[in-house]
Amino acid sequence: MHLDDTLENYMRKTADFHGCFKKAPGIVIGCYMVEYALELLGDVEGTLNAVSETRVCLSDCIQVMTGCTLGNKHLKLADHIGRYACSIYDRDTRRGVRVYLDLSKIDPERCPELHAFHLRQRDPRVLSDMDFRKRSGEKVVAEFLRVKRDVLSWHPVVVSYRRKDPMDPSVPCTRCGEPFLKKSPEPGACPACSGDSYYAIPEGEGSGGS
């Protein structure tokens, strides 16, 4: 797939989408990774799909640069893996390429901040001091821009995801009544009503429902 905009513009667009400053390290590195992956993949006959192995910046770079999004399901999130890597592939042939930020290629002498960034071993002040975080981020980016693809690696992949997920039936929950997506059409309680809820309803506060 050919990119129809410059990398510089994609970094700006991704930063706008992500809600951060343009030269955030994850955005810069991620945009270079996606550009590299698309170039390696070349033109595809079928539908372009992507997998991100992390939820951070990289997944937004993919969404902005390839049009594969979580919403259109052309982007799959495999963030249980947690590596700074993505795969881009032809959904029809399942063949594609996987690009990752390669620790073994990052020289800790030459690129100390990038090395620490990749291992999440930067000075803890990056979490508490925004100025410090910005300066550290600028160092990571400056180091990365000196090496770029020299610290990226790739290999071909055959992706095992099914071409299209089956449409699960939507079944009203036997407790809350809200329809939820269920593997089988038999009646049952939704996960939230079965103890796997991410929220509690505070007592004595008003609500918009009955």
Instruction: Please say which residue, 132 or 180, places its beta carbon nearer to Zn ion.
Output: 180
Residues 122-158, buried b or exposed e (16+ Cβ, 10 A)?
beeebeeeeeebeebbebbbebbeeeeeebbbbeeee
- Of the candidates 108, 116, 95, 105, the residue with the CA atom closest to the CA atom of residue 45: 95
181 binds Zn ion (CB under 5 A): no
Q: Could you say whether residue 81 binds Zn ion (CB under 5 A)?
A: no
Piece in contact with Zn ion (CB under 5 A), picked from 67-75, 151-159, 171-179, 201-209: 171-179
Among 169, 176, 185, 187, binds Zn ion (CB under 5 A): 176
Residue 193 binds Zn ion, judged by CB under 5 A: yes
Regarding 130 and contact with Zn ion (CB under 5 A), the answer is no
The rounded distance, in Å, linking the Cα atoms of 1 and 21 is 27
Which one of 15, 75, 88, 173 is in contact with Zn ion (CB under 5 A)? 173
Using DSSP, state whether 5 is helix, strand or coil.
coil
Asked if 171 touches Zn ion (CB under 5 A), the answer is no
Exposure pattern of 196-207 as b/e (b: 16+ CB <10 Å)? eeeeeeeeeeee
By CB under 5 A, residue 3 contacts Zn ion: no
Which of 175, 179, 185, 187 is the binder for Zn ion (CB under 5 A)?
Answer: 175
Q: Residues in the site for Zn ion, rule: CB under 5 A?
A: 173, 175-176, 190, 193
